[in-house]
């Protein structure tokens, strides 16, 4: 046998190679195939000859030899084999094996050997091996003649295999080869030729072998189970290729495989274990036969099997349904199997269902995607298969539970659209029940359930579809909410360290959040749809979605349903407290009609979860007419078709608690009996029969399950109690017996569980579920768009953040930490996307705590500690990722973020450019004063008086470099250096500068909160000195605040008030120079400089803020005056055209004026003033007087040179040109010219006043130059000066002259040198101005008084003594000046005897003139002219021009 078998592979290989050879020579394949057949025949014959029965050797004499040999040679088995050998050799010509030779011709001899009970195990095994080889070499091809008969014959022969047992080893070998042949039958290309019956036979035979292998070797056990797995896979792998119309109209009798297999298998298992086939019989010296098909005759000829049309067709859906039915029945049979003593009962209890579930799993994995195309298969999966999965879902075995969850997961993936309520039941009654430890589940069960739940959560559409189909369905549980709450609670460790379950639950939450976050990319914003309120009642229980494929339709539908469901839940709470208030609320919400009707109330009771079942039972049992109507309507909501009475009663009583009062019980049972009789009239003749039996069932239930009842009712008692109740006749004994045993095994719970979910799935509840599944709304498939994620995220955000935070806080594994960070970032993304700012801010607060940057405890080496803390660094990166990405939605969280930034700053981990200006401001920063520029470019430094602490890496390296070599110091270890490097890298990755430099993109509310956080973080000390402990923090916050302000110039209105108040507090609280006030002052100037060109409406506010500089403490102002002036100069040069208001100019010029008295800043201040006043380019009515006054102060300042003072005076004098221009423009423009001209005249007077003040300067050059300029400004032409204005100008002149006289008389000549010249200039100024204004003043009523005052002043100057003696120059010049005036007055007719009636001016004039020079009257009015008549007005001369000519003379 060994030699033949060794040669077979060579022949088969040659045959395969020859057959695949594309050459035209056809003889090679034929010879090869013939060789294969011949080889296998020879092998089988050789094995047979090894047995004495078939060896052909006679036992006695020669005569018997011949006879015995002839008889042996004529045996049908040997004859058939030898005949096949001859025929195979003779086949030739054009014959083609696969297409023309009937396979039965070369299969029958081998099949006969397999079926024969005369052969032993080795012979049968050899024949089976030959069949296996022919099938694997595909000698039986799909196109062969009579292939169906051939494949059927193979299956029939192998499944009916009979052989004589000689030893256990050979028996196991035969069984293994049986499995090989059966597997090859369903695996080969000819497998489609098999019929449904044959496939069922293959499965049943494989199972028999599996059962028989239980008492055999471990190898056979493993091989048999694996083979059956492969057979199931091969069968169900064909489902996707089946045509859905093949079996659409055929009816498959559901009991076929159960009749063939299930009951037979129970007998088979029992017989195999009771008989103990194998070793025991061998030891007793007896030989026996093995027949795989104990009921073989029944398989071939049983009534209804062969004749079943569907089972005789080519295999397809019918056999698959039967196989699944068999596997489900196997799950139930396992409970009743008698366990062999040699098998561990626990292992067997787990082994049998686990094996069956494994087969189901294999079948579902390969066929689930196509099951929905086959209604019969789908119906079985929906009902029986899923019900069995529910039952085994609560198994104590983790392996069984895992397998069940795997099957359900596969079904969910492919068939969730057809398994809506089944999935809800599985999650409610299995997953959620086991995953919660309060229901008594073991740790292993919790772990498996939670793992399964997390697998579901990793499906991106799972939670969305659960919410849409369950939470938004009025009759379903809130699966989404329950799952989210379960995962959140399961992440919290309870009185123990963090466990794998906690981490697993957090993984589920994170998976859900990440899936939702990814969906925000496809954002149609359907979540923003508003659902209209219900204004009137409508039958919403029957509401259906118009289109499940149109998101606009189904999103509106589910949102409406969810709104109704929320109100219903509120109504339930009210009802459970007070029925009347509950109805009132529901009527007010239009969920019940204004006038209650029994039908709608019954629907509310039937379909609303969470109702108090005690209250419901009492209400339904009430005797009032309305309650009775509600009760009957409530009963009509049940479907009791094809349901036993006990099952119907269980279902009915599970919805409420049966009251204790007999009358209420009677009313309730009457309603139940009426409904049951209505749907099952074939059992009872009237309603009374159903009512009596219902009562009897209730009594039996109490009798059997009440511990107080000692003597239990027997079956006979129950049957006897129910005699003649069916219209005087007895009910069928079997019917009553079934009810009795059902009640005994399973109690009817008259006190059902409160609540909606997490209760066991009873058979009655399952029947009700199947009835509801036919009426429930269609399953809604959610694609990758976040239609409902807004509401979902709102529900789970808070608990999810808390759960992930707990895990993050208690775990150290970096991979878990990374997943938690991903979860946090997903929450941030969702919160920002759906504008849930509170969620985002709470998340920021949580993460900031994990950074450890907010810890107030002292750490000796904070940088190293931070660098070694991976969790803290990861949290830090997450915080600032959120801040830079979703800053628009951060509100209160900014304070925590700023605190983290400050801590990083104190640790020295932030880059120097963190608060750099924006790109468009780099040019301006280059021109800053050196001190200020260096301050802006470097990180804040602590004051010199404060010992500097070494926080950062650079500080540490500096210490290492500059410490005294003799001083002992500790070198940082390699671990410390790595930690410090990690800390620096973390700070670099955070990109903190982006928060402030890109703050212009923040929303208004977020920007305001950011600025407010910076102000709060900086603090508000009452008194700031140079020794402020946390000055570095305040300076850093101020820099950040200024950066934010500069980057938001378009929205400065949002920030300005807070920024101004903060800087004002710093300025007003500072009494000594320090870095903080310096940053505040120059930051304020920088803000004004940057914003003035862009914000015309804020120019005044910005410039008004600069008044804070004027309020600086004197010591502070003195320290920074020069740089302040430089900044003001830059501001003026850049923004002079933007300053329009007088207030703004007053502020600017006030700052300039301050510098006039400062030795270092005066030059820069004067430069700014020159820029304003030079050529009047930037002078305006708003700043004219202010500028003139500022020039006066610089002219009077002794800090600058005399040339600068003279330059300042020239600026004042030149500004008169502006007055002349403005006057000309006003006259040309017309309109309200007088008022404007008066204003110009007023400015002229202010200019004169300014010059007057400088005319008394101690410096001779400045004083004399001021007098000359004053003269020039007084006699300027082009300014409209009224007579009253002239009079006021003379007041200025008189004041000047009085001051000069006082200086001469009271001050030392050393202080005021050459005053005589100044007095001469002054008296000339008086005379010339009087002549200039004579024409305007002569007609004025006060002219006489003015004239006398002029003469009086001239008299004073005439008499003044300089250095103790009269001034000769004045004495010489004054008479001539007075003479010129008198001559002009004479010529103009102003001075004459006839000029007035009383001639008072004439007399007063000469009275005064004579005091000055007595000879002037004669010179002006000689005697011959004294009596002449005064000339008239028509002879008046042009006195101003004439006086000028006289002055020149």
Find residue 163's DSSP bridge partners. Answer: 290
Is it the case that residue 79 has pLDDT exceeding 50?
Answer: yes
How much is the average pLDDT of 967-975?
A: 73
Q: Which pLDDT belongs to residue 776?
A: 85
Is it the case that residue 463 has pLDDT exceeding 50?
Answer: yes
Contact 792, 463 (CB under 8 A): yes
Give Cα separations from 15 to 137, 189, 298 (angstroms).
9, 18, 40
Task: Provide the token pair at 1041.
Answer: 């605040």
Q: Which pLDDT belongs to residue 542?
A: 72
Q: Which pLDDT belongs to residue 278?
A: 34
User: If pLDDT is split at 50, 70 and 90, which confidence band does 421 have?
Assistant: very high
Q: Which pLDDT belongs to residue 310?
A: 65
Give Cα separations from 1212 to 515, 678, 1181 (angstroms).
76, 116, 14
Is it the case that residue 1438 has pLDDT exceeding 60?
Answer: no
User: Which range, of 84-88, 684-688, 1192-1196, 1199-1203, averages the lowest pLDDT?
Assistant: 84-88
* Beta strands at 289-291 and 162-164: parallel, antiparallel or unpaired: antiparallel
Q: Which pLDDT belongs to residue 1042?
A: 92
Is it the case that residue 727 has pLDDT exceeding 90?
Answer: no
Span 572-583, pLDDT tens digits: 999 999 988 998
How much is the average pLDDT of 1314-1339?
A: 85
Q: Which pLDDT belongs to residue 910?
A: 87
Catalytic residue among 280, 338, 661, 1061: 661
Task: Provide the token pair at 186.
Answer: 């369903």
Is it the case that residue 59 has pLDDT exceeding 50?
Answer: no
Known active-site residue 661: yes
Q: What percent of the chain has pLDDT over 70?
A: 81
How much is the average pLDDT of 913-931?
A: 46
Q: Which pLDDT belongs to residue 407?
A: 95
Span 36-47, pLDDT tens digits: 888 888 888 888
Contact 1282, 1240 (CB under 8 A): no
| Residue matched to tokens 């009253």 | 1284
Q: What percent of the chain has pLDDT over 90?
A: 31
Measured CA to CA, the distance from residue 995 to residue 1062 in angstroms comes to: 21
The stretches of 683-813 forming alpha helices (DSSP H) are 687-705, 715-721, 733-745, 763-773, 789-810
Q: Which of 414, 171, 393 is nearest to 279 (CA)?
A: 171
How much is the average pLDDT of 242-268?
A: 46
Measured CA to CA, the distance from residue 1246 to residue 1273 in angstroms comes to: 11
Is it the case that residue 64 has pLDDT exceeding 90?
Answer: no
How much is the average pLDDT of 803-830?
A: 94
Q: What is the DSSP letter of 1093?
A: T
Task: Provide the token pair at 436.
Answer: 């919660």
Contact 520, 833 (CB under 8 A): yes
Is it the case that residue 15 has pLDDT exceeding 80?
Answer: no
Q: Which pLDDT belongs to residue 1313?
A: 84
Q: Which pLDDT belongs to residue 146?
A: 86
Q: Which pLDDT belongs to residue 424?
A: 92
- What's the distance, CA 241 to chain centroid? 43
Per-range mean pLDDT, top range of 478-487, 648-657, 741-750: 478-487
Q: Which pLDDT belongs to residue 1399?
A: 58
Is it the case that residue 1413 has pLDDT exceeding 50?
Answer: yes
Give Cα separations from 568 to 147, 545, 577, 585 (angstroms).
65, 19, 14, 9
Span 1070-1112, pLDDT tens digits: 888 888 889 999 999 999 988 888 878 888 888 889 889 888 8
Per-range mean pLDDT, top range of 819-823, 1169-1173, 1293-1297: 819-823
Q: Which pLDDT belongs to residue 309?
A: 66
Q: Which pLDDT belongs to residue 489?
A: 92
DSSP 1155-1173: HTT-TTTHHHHHHHHHHHH
pTM above 0.85, yes or no: no
User: If pLDDT is split at 50, 70 and 90, which confidence band does 74 have?
Assistant: low
Is it the case that residue 528 has pLDDT exceeding 70?
Answer: no
User: If pLDDT is split at 50, 70 and 90, which confidence band does 75 have?
Assistant: confident
User: If pLDDT is split at 50, 70 and 90, which confidence band does 26 have?
Assistant: very low
Measured CA to CA, the distance from residue 998 to residue 1000 in angstroms comes to: 5
Q: Which pLDDT belongs to residue 1008?
A: 94
Measured CA to CA, the distance from residue 678 to residue 1442 in angstroms comes to: 137
- What's the distance, CA 924 to chain centroid? 41
User: Is the pLDDT higher at 1420 or at 1217?
Assistant: 1217
| Residue matched to tokens 């301006």 | 924
Span 843-892, pLDDT tens digits: 999 999 999 998 888 788 899 999 999 999 999 999 999 999 999 999 99
Is it the case that residue 295 has pLDDT exceeding 70?
Answer: no
Span 349-376, pLDDT tens digits: 678 888 999 999 999 999 999 999 999 9
Is it the case that residue 936 has pLDDT exceeding 80?
Answer: no
Is it the case that residue 512 has pLDDT exceeding 90?
Answer: yes
| Residue matched to tokens 């009957």 | 632
Measured CA to CA, the distance from residue 589 to residue 594 in angstroms comes to: 10
Is it the case that residue 25 has pLDDT exceeding 50?
Answer: no
261: helix, coil or strand?
Answer: helix
Instruction: Give, rounded to a whole angstrom, the gap between the first and last alpha carbons of the chain.
Output: 160
User: If pLDDT is split at 50, 70 and 90, which confidence band does 1157 have?
Assistant: confident
Measured CA to CA, the distance from residue 749 to residue 758 in angstroms comes to: 16
Measured CA to CA, the distance from residue 1257 to residue 1262 in angstroms comes to: 7
Is it the case that residue 725 has pLDDT exceeding 80?
Answer: yes
Is it the case that residue 251 has pLDDT exceeding 70?
Answer: no
Task: Provide the token pair at 452.
Answer: 């399964």
The mean pLDDT of the chain is: 80
Measured CA to CA, the distance from residue 518 to residue 260 in angstroms comes to: 53
362: phi > 0 → left, psi -120 to 50 → alpha, else beta; which?
Answer: alpha
Give Cα separations from 1386 to 1334, 1379, 1391 (angstroms).
12, 10, 5
DSSP 637-655: T---TT--HHHHHHHHHTT
Contact 42, 4 (CB under 8 A): yes
């Amino acid at each position: 046998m060994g030699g033949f078998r060794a040669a077979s592979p060579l022949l088969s290989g040659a045959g395969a190679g020859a057959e695949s050879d594309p050459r035209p020579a056809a003889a090679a394949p034929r010879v090869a195939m013939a060789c294969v057949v011949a080889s296998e025949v020879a092998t089988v014959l050789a094995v047979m000859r090894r047995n004495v029965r078939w060896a052909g050797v006679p036992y006695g004499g020669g005569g018997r030899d011949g006879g015995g040999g002839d008889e042996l040679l004529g045996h049908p088995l040997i004859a058939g084999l030898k005949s096949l050998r001859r025929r195979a050799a003779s086949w030739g010509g054009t014959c083609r094996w696969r297409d023309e030779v009937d396979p039965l011709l070369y299969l029958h001899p081998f099949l006969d050997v397999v079926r024969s009970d005369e052969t032993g195990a080795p012979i049968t095994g050899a024949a089976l091996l030959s069949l296996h080889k022919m099938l694997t070499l595909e000698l039986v091809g799909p196109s062969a003649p009579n292939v169906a008969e051939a494949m059927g014959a193979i299956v029939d022969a192998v499944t009916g295999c009979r052989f004589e047992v000689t030893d256990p080893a050979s028996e196991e070998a035969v069984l293994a080869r049986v499995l090989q042949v059966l597997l090859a039958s369903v695996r080969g290309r000819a497998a489609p030729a098999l019929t449904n019956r044959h496939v069922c036979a293959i499965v049943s035979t494989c199972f028999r072998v599996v059962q028989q292998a239980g008492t055999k070797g471990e190898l056979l056990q493993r091989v048999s189970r694996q083979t059956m797995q492969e057979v199931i896979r091969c069968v169900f792998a064909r489902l996707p290729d089946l045509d859905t119309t093949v079996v659409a109209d055929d009816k498959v009798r559901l009991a076929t495989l159960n009749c063939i297999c299930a009951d037979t298998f129970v007998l088979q298992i029992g017989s195999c274990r009771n008989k103990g086939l194998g070793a025991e019989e061998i030891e007793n010296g007896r030989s026996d036969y093995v027949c795989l098909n104990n009921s073989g005759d029944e398989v071939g000829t049983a009534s209804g099997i062969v004749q079943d049309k569907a089972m005789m067709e080519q295999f397809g859906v019918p056999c698959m349904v039967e196989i699944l039915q068999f596997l489900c029945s196997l799950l139930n049979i396992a409970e009743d199997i008698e366990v062999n003593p040699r098998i561990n009962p626990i292992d067997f209890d787990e082994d049998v269902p686990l094996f069956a579930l494994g087969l189901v799993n294999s079948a579902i994995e390969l066929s689930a995607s196509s099951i929905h195309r086959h209604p019969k298969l789908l119906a079985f999966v929906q009902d029986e298969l899923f019900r069995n999965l529910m039952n085994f879902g609560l198994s104590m075995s983790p392996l069984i539970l895992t397998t069940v969850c795997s099957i359900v997961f596969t079904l969910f993936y492919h068939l969730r659209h057809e398994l809506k309520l089944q999935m809800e039941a599985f999650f409610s009654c299995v997953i959620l029940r086991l995953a919660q430890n309060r229901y008594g589940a073991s740790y292993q069960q919790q772990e498996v359930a939670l793992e399964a739940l997390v697998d579901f959560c990793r499906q991106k559409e799972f939670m969305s579809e659960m919410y849409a189909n369950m939470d938004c369905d009025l009759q379903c549980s809130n699966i989404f909410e329950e799952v989210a709450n379960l995962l959140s609670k399961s992440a919290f460790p309870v009185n123990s360290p963090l466990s794998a379950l906690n981490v697993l639950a957090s993984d589920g939450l994170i998976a859900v959040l990440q899936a939702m976050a990814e969906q925000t990319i496809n954002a149609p914003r359907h979540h923003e749809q508003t659902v209209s309120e219900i204004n009137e009642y409508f039958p919403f229980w029957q509401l259906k979605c118009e289109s499940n494929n149109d998101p606009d339709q189904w999103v509106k539908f589910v949102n409406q349903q969810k709104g109704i469901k929320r109100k219903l839940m509120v109504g339930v709470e009210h009802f459970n407290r007070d029925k009347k208030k509950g109805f009132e609320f529901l009527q007010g919400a239009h969920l019940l009609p204004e006038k209650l009707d029994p039908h709608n109330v019954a629907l509310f009771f039937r379909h609303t979860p969470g109702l108090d079942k005690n209250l419901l039972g009492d209400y339904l049992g009430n005797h009032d007419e309305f309650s009775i109507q509600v009760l009957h309507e409530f009963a009509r909501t049940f479907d009791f078709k094809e349901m036993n009475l006990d099952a119907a009663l269980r279902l009915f009583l599970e919805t409420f608690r049966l009251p204790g009062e007999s009358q209420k019980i009677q009313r309730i049972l009457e309603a139940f009996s009426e409904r049951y009789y209505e749907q099952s009239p074939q059992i009872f003749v009237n309603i009374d029969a159903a009512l009596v039996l219902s009562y009897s069932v209730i009594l039996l239930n109490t009798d059997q399950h009440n511990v107080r009842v000692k003597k239990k009712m027997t079956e006979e008692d129950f049957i006897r109690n129910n005699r003649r109740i069916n219209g005087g006749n007895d009910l069928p004994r079997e019917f009553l017996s079934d009810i009795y045993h059902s009640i005994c095994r399973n109690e009817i719970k008259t006190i059902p569980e409160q609540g909606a979910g997490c209760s066991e799935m009873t058979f009655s509840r399952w029947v009700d579920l199947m009835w509801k599944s036919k009426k429930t709304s269609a399953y809604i498939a959610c694609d990758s768009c976040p239609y409902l994620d807004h509401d979902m995220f709102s529900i789970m955000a808070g608990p999810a953040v808390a759960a992930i935070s707990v895990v993050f806080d208690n775990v150290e594994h970096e991979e878990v930490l990374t997943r938690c960070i991903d979860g946090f970032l997903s929450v941030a993304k969702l919160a920002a996307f759906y504008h849930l700012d509170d969620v985002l801010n709470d998340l920021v607060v949580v993460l900031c705590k994990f950074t450890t940057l907010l810890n107030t405890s002292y750490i000796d080496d904070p940088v190293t500690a931070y660098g070694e803390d991976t969790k803290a660094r990861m949290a830090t990166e997450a915080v600032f990722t959120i801040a830079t990405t979703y800053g628009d939605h951060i509100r209160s969280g900014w304070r925590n973020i700023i605190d983290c930034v400050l801590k990083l700053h104190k640790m020295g981990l932030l880059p120097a450019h963190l608060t750099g200006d924006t790109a468009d401001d780099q040019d301006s920063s280059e021109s800053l004063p050196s001190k200020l520029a260096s301050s802006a470019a470097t990180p804040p430094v602590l004051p010199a008086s404060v010992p500097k602490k070494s926080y950062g890496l650079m500080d540490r390296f500096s210490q290492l470099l500059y410490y005294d070599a003799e001083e002992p110091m500790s070198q940082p270890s390699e671990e410390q250096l790595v930690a410090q490097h990690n800390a620096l890298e973390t700070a670099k990755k955070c990109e903190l500068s982006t928060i402030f430099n890109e703050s212009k993109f923040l929303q208004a509310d977020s920007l305001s909160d950011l600025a407010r956080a910076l102000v709060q973080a900086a603090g508000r000390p009452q008194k700031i000195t140079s020794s402020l402990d946390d000055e570095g923090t305040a300076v850093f916050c101020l820099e950040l605040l200024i950066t934010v302000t500069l980057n938001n110039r378009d929205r400065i209105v949002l920030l300005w008030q807070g920024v101004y108040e903060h800087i004002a507090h710093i300025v007003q609280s500072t009494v000594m120079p320090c870095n903080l006030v310096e940053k505040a002052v120059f930051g304020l100037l920088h803000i004004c400089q940057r914003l003035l060109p862009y914000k015309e409406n804020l120019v005044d506010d910005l410039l008004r803020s600069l008044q804070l500089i004027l309020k600086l403490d004197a010591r502070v102002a003195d320290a920074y005056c020069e740089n302040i002036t430089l900044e003001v100069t830059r501001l003026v040069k850049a923004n002079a055209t933007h300053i329009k208001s007088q207030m703004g100019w007053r502020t600017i010029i006030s700052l300039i004026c301050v510098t006039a008295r400062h030795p270092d800043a005066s030059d820069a201040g004067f430069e700014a003033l020159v820029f304003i006043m030079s050529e009047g380019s930037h002078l305006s009515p708003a700043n004219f007087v202010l500028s003139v006054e500022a020039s006066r102060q610089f002219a009077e300042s002794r800090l600058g040179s005399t040339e600068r003072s003279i330059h300042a005076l020239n600026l004042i004098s030149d500004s008169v040109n502006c007055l002349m221009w403005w006057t000309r423009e006003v006259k040309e423009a017309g309109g309200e010219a007088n008022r404007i001209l008066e204003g110009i005249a007023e400015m002229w007077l202010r200019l004169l006043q300014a010059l007057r003040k400088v005319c008394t300067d101690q410096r001779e050059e400045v004083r004399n130059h001021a007098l000359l300029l004053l003269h020039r400004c007084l006699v300027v032409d082009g300014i409209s000066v009224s007579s009253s204005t002239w009079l006021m100008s003379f007041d200025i002149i008189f004041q000047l002259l009085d001051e000069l006289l006082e200086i001469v008389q009271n001050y030392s000549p050393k202080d005021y040198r050459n005053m005589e010249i100044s007095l001469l200039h002054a008296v000339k100024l008086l005379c010339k101005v009087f002549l200039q204004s004579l024409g305007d003043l002569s007609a004025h009523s006060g002219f006489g008084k003015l004239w006398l005052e002029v003469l009086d002043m001239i008299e004073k100057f005439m008499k003044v003594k300089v250095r103790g003696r009269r001034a000769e120059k004045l004495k010489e010049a004054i008479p001539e000046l007075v003479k010129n005036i008198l001559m002009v007055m004479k010529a103009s007719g102003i001075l004459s005897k006839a000029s007035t009636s009383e001639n008072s001016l004439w007399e007063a004039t000469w009275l005064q003139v004579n005091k000055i020079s007595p000879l002037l009257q004669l010179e002006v009015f000689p005697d011959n002219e004294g009596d002449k008549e005064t000339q008239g007005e028509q002879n008046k001369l042009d006195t101003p021009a004439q006086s000028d000519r006289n002055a020149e003379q």
